[in-house]
Each structure stands twice: as C-alpha cells, then as structure tokens.
Chains A and B, each alone.
Chain A
Amino acid sequence: MKKLRITVDNKTYEVEVEVISQEEGQSAPRPAPRRAASVSAPAAPAAPASSAAPAAAGDVVSPLSAVVVSVDVQPGQAVNEGDKLITLEAMKMNTFVNAPAAGTVTAIHVSAGNAVEEGQPLLALE
C-alpha cells in the first residue's frame, strides 16, 4: 500500500494506492548503493563527458567550451596556415579557430549551433 498526495487545481488530496502487479523489469526503484564512506574529494571528471571522441593526430580541437557559429571551410578544401576554419562563440565573444598548418580539410565533425567542449575535435586537417 502506498500513500500519495495529489494536488489538483490547488486542492490537495491524499490517496492510498495499492500496487497489484508490476511489469517485469520495472521493479520499484532501489535506493542507489551507498557510497563507501570516504573523506577524499569526489574524483575529477575524466575526459569531457560529451560524445566527443578523443582528438586524433591532425584533429583541430576547440580551444574553449563554446557554440559553433559557423563552419567556414568545406571538406576537401585546401587551407593555408592561419586561415579561418571555424567561428565559435563563448562569453559574448567570437573566437576564430585558425589552421595550425597548411593542409586539406578531410572531415568536419561539427556544424553551426553545436555546443562543443574544450579539447573536442572540430575537424580533421591533413
């Protein structure tokens, strides 16, 4: 038997509910296992928890957490060192990601509007 409080149109009702059966696999939520008592600080998060794959050689990564404003190159495009590749925005300011060296854009991992984290690969340059 479970006791619930329900509010409808600012009126509060207390009701009792009996659970007759539960679908398999949906057992009542168990409390999370208690953490081992510890005085140490919680561990620092490992790599950014995004879907981002770790940067590979040739990847150009984001210098800070930001939103992609525009991707300023096409796959296959040849670029010179210092050319603008991607425009990011964070902290009321645009940040240009420029080519660290001359090369060809082989893949683009993000598109305008994506949120990216510091160190996340934006595109690959070969």
Chain B
Amino acid sequence: MAIAPELLEELNKRRAAAEAAGGKAKIEKRHANGLMTARERLEAFFEKGTFQEFGKYAQHSCHNFGMETKSMPYDGVVCGVGYVEGRPVAAYSQDFTVGGGALGRIHAKKIVDLMDYAHEMGVPVVAINDSGGARIQEGVDSLSGYGQVFFKNVFLSGVVPQVAIIAGQCAGGAAYSPALTDFLIMTRGASNMFICGPGVIKAATGESATLEQFATAEAHASVSGNIHLIAEDDQHALELTTKLLSYLPSNNLGDPPHDPTPEIDLSDVPAFNELVPADPKAPMDVHEVIDNLVDDADFFEIMPDFAKNIVVGYARIQGIVVGIIANQPTVKAGTLDIDSSDKGARFIRTCNIYNIPLVTLVDVPGFMPGLAQERGGIIRHGAKMLFSYASATVPKITLILRKAYGGAYLAMCSADMGADMVFAWPTAEIAVMGAEGAVGVLYRKEIKEADDPKAKEAELRSEYRKKFASPYQAAENAMITDVIEPKQTRAVISLALRNTVSKRDTRPPKKHGNIPL
C-alpha cells in the first residue's frame, strides 16, 4: 500500500506551476535588472528550510474582462512564516511577474489571513511591496481588499512589529498600507512611492513635477520623512529588516531581546572627556558620544537623512536594548523644530510600544525660532515630544551633555516629564533661557543706567552664566540624580539601565491619550 502515484504527480505539477511564477522570461528580466523574485526575497529572508508557505495554490476569483481564462499563481502574493535569527516572523511578498503584483480579492484575503495569523501567534509582519496597484478588472473588490489590509494594519499596530519594504512600485492607495506600519524601508533606484504621479499632478493642477523630486527612496528619506531607511538592493533591504527585528520583541507583551552581559563593566571611558570641547559654542558631533556609549559602537540609526538635528536609533548598552534620542548640535545648532519633533516623538512612541528603554542625550539650545516654524505649528509639533515622553512608561534615562534650555529642556525628557534618572556632565547648562536673553530681561534698567552699559551687560551675563548655566542650580533643587564626569558615562548609564529595567508604571485606564497630531 502506498499513495497513488498520480496524486503525487498532480501535486508536483501544481508546485512547479506555482514556482514558475509569471514565467521564465519575466523572471530573467528581473534578474538582469538585479532584482530578486518575490519568492527569492522570502527564501533569502528566512533561515534556510524554515519557510512555510500559505496559500500557494490560491487563484484569483475574477470573471470579468476575460480574466476567467487567466491563471494567476498564488494570486500574485507569496505568503508564509519562517525563522529569522531563531524567531518566527510572518511575511508576504508581492510578485510583480504575476499580473504586475496587482491586488485583487484573493490577494488581499491572503494578506489579511497572514496578518490574523501574526496577531494570534504574536509574531512580526514583514510586507514586501512590489505591485502595480489595484487589479482594475476586479473593480470595487480590489478597493475593498485595500481597505481590509489597511484595517488590519491598524488592528495590529502596537501589537506586533510591522515592517514594510518598498521594493518596486507602490502607488496611489497602496502607499497607505506601508504608511500604517512601524517602519518603511525603500530600495534605492528600484522603488517609487507616491499618491499621485507626475501625470495626475500635471492634469489636475498643471504643476510639473518629476518622480525624482518626490517619489524616490532619497526623496522620502530626506525630504518627506515618509520612510525610515534606504536599502541599496533587495538583499540589503532584507538584512536591514533582520537587524531592525533584532532590537524588537516579537510582540508588545514581550521584552526586547536583551542580552545582558553577566557582569557590568564599570570602567571609565576616557574618550568621553576628550570629546567635550572647551568652548560651549563649539559644536560636538553627538554621534561620537553615542559610539562611545553603545556596545561595539554599533548604533542602528533610524531616519538618518531626515531632520538631522535630532538623532534616533537602536543599540545595546552592555546587552540591554535601548532607543537613543539625541540632539545633534552640528545641525541647526541642535534645535528642536517641526520635523525633528515629529521624528523624535514617533521614535519614542515606537520604543514605548515595544518596551524598549529610552536613553536621551540632551544638548539643546531651544526650539528653533522663526516665522516658518511658528506658522508651521511648532507648538503642536513640539508638543508631540512632550506628550510622547510623558506618556511613555518604559525606563527613561536622561543625560544632559551641555545645553538644556527652556521648553526644549523639558521636551528632552527632564525629571518633570517622567525621567527615572537624570545625569548631567559638569558642562551641562540647565536654565530657563540663555544669558543673553535673560540678562536683557532681568537687568534692563541697570544696564541702561550704567556708566558703561556694554561692560555692565557683559559682567551681568558672565555672572548669570556662572550661576545658572551649570548643572548645579538644578542639582541643588534635587532635579537631577547626579553630576558625573564624562568618562563615567558608560558605567553610569549601564547601571541605571539595570536598575530601571524592572520598571512598572500604571496609568489610568482610557481609550488612548489625545496626542496633538
């Protein structure tokens, strides 16, 4: 007794048909262009042999416009689960060789089913987008499919990590599924993402615009801020996703994959002392501070090309996963402005969802002054930083490197905004405003009436600086945990993380807070 051979033949035939995707010619063309196929992408992403496919033999259900005679293997989207660095991850990959990767009813159902699975199992979802858009022949079924995917994106938001890779076309409504995920990665040169293309823009408004201006990976990474990372090619996009997931728990109920060192290294790092310029006006590249703070100088920066006056990203400090938020004084003096507030707030909230402790490095002279900022709603945008920090319940460690002025000091997670531990270097200047502004307000009359107003002003400024532009007024008011020598930074932050990783912070029950959007 054995299984009838014709049944196995049938299975093998169907398997081969599915794996042939859109045909040899189309696949060869992709390879010639340096692109992987949808299936190759998933096989490269998952550990060898661990990929379990869902719905390999699915077909479209369309009977319009002659579609009933056409075969669409797996309805243009390869779905399944597999292992990534030892943990299961759900992923789908749209196949541009099958009907242009267009989304129809069954295509959408497969994606939604996979997301339901990811929700129930508590595993991340990776979406590899490469699609011409809606399958027009299916009419509103296709539109409805997008709606169902969007709904599921939102349903899963804050539950399991969602990463979208834009590896080809992603146009019109299709762009909103990636936009609803946690992280977007675009491949350079091979991908475009937009709502209305140049043709539609021209027809609707007469405006001339090229895809290079608004739809490429570079445009989204540096101008629109719609994406988080640029990949050089398909393989790199998958590597970035793997690296990103290495900092995230599988779902919101788990801790991130901490790998604490058995013993905490408390030795000094003299490089920190060397880093600090003697002149408080000299810019200090905060990347150098971060590289000395984190394990192996391995800092995984998120949105490195957008709003560079704030630096955010993931790292480990003696094995503890952290999200780092740092002002960058070499760009726009390290001020908080509309874009940097949006970038920072989004990152803080992502960390909070996934239980990742926050380490904030403060060197901020204030909010960016200017008409464009005020008119652009810096009040609303800057408030996102305050809101995000105050509502985050993860451990919050703040280190004040140098400047910490006014409202921006609060917006960088001061003790009042819920920091669990606040450290300051002796170079810290914690004050309500700078000496120039403060002296003008406090001593207007004295300066005016002095014999030499300029000398008097300089004298008063220097007095103010000595008294207030230091960490000690805040320290005397018990607003900071400790003033430390820069070289102690790594030891102190490492200890603080071990001490706070058990944090429990319970808030009153509510649907959700009302972050100013």
Contacts and interface: CB of A to CB of B under 8 A. Distances in A.
B283 interface: yes
A55 interface: no
Interface of B: 280-283, 329-335, 365-366, 368-372, 375, 403, 405, 434, 436
Given A95-B283, A96-B283, A90 B333 contact: yes
Interface string A71-96: 00000000000000000011111111
Nearest to A65: B370
Contacts of B405: 92
Given A64-B368, A91-B365, A92-B280, 13 more contacts: A91-B333, A91-B334, A91-B366, A92-B281, A92-B365, A92-B405, A92-B434, A93-B283, A93-B403, A94-B283, A95-B330, A95-B331, A96-B330
A94 B405 CA distance: 16
A10 B71 CA distance: 97
B371 A95 contact: no
A44 interface: yes
Contact of A94 (B281, B332, B370, B372): B281
9 contacts: A64-B368, A90-B333, A91-B335, A92-B281, A92-B405, A93-B281, A93-B365, A95-B332, A118-B370
Contacts, number: 45
B149 to A, nearest CB: 37
A63 interface: yes
Contacts of A64: 332-333, 368
A66 to B, nearest CB: 8
Interface in A74-126: 89-96, 118
Nearest to B429: A92
A96 B329 CA distance: 11
Nearest to B363: A93
Nearest to A49: B371
Interface of A: 44-45, 63-65, 89-96, 118
A92 B406 CA distance: 13
Contacts of A91: 333-335, 365-366, 368-369
Nearest to B408: A91
A44 B329 contact: no
A95 B309 CA distance: 12
B402 to A, nearest CB: 9
A93 B329 contact: yes
Contacts of B280: 92
B331 A89 contact: no
Contact of B371 (A45, A89, A92, A96): A45
A93 B375 contact: no
Contacts of B368: 64, 91
A44 B479 CA distance: 41
A90 B333 CA distance: 7
A92 B283 contact: no
Nearest to B334: A93
Nearest to A89: B281
B411 to A, nearest CB: 15
Contacts of A65: 369-370
A93 B370 contact: no
Nearest to B335: A91
Contacts of A93: 281, 283, 329, 333-334, 365, 403
A118 B281 CA distance: 20
Contacts of A45: 371
Contacts of A44: 372, 375
Nearest to A96: B283
A63 B368 CA distance: 12
A51 to B, nearest CB: 18
Indicate the member of A44, A64, A92 with the most B CB atoms within 10 Å. A92
A45 B370 CA distance: 12
| Max chain A C-beta neighbours (<10 A), residue from B330, B331, B332, B371 | B332
A45 B375 CA distance: 10
A88 to B, nearest CB: 9
Q: Which residue, of B280, B281, B331, B434, has the highest number of chain A Cβ atoms within 10 A?
A: B281
Contacts of B436: 92
A115 to B, nearest CB: 13
A118 B332 CA distance: 10
Most interface-central of A65, A90, A94 (chain B CB within 10 A): A94
A44 B373 CA distance: 12
A65 to B, nearest CB: 6
B370 A95 contact: no
B327 to A, nearest CB: 10
A94 B282 contact: yes
Contacts of B366: 91
**7 closest cross-chain pairs (CB), A and B:** A93-B333, A91-B333, A91-B365, A92-B365, A94-B281, A64-B332, A92-B434
B283 to A, nearest CB: 6
Contacts of A90: 333
Given A44-B375, A45-B371, A65-B370, A92 B403 contact: yes
A64 B366 CA distance: 14
Nearest to B437: A92
Nearest to B279: A94
Contact of A95 (B333, B369, B403, B434): B333
Contacts of B281: 89, 92-94
A92 B333 contact: yes
Contacts of A63: 331-332
Nearest to A88: B333
Contacts of B329: 93
Contacts of A94: 281-283
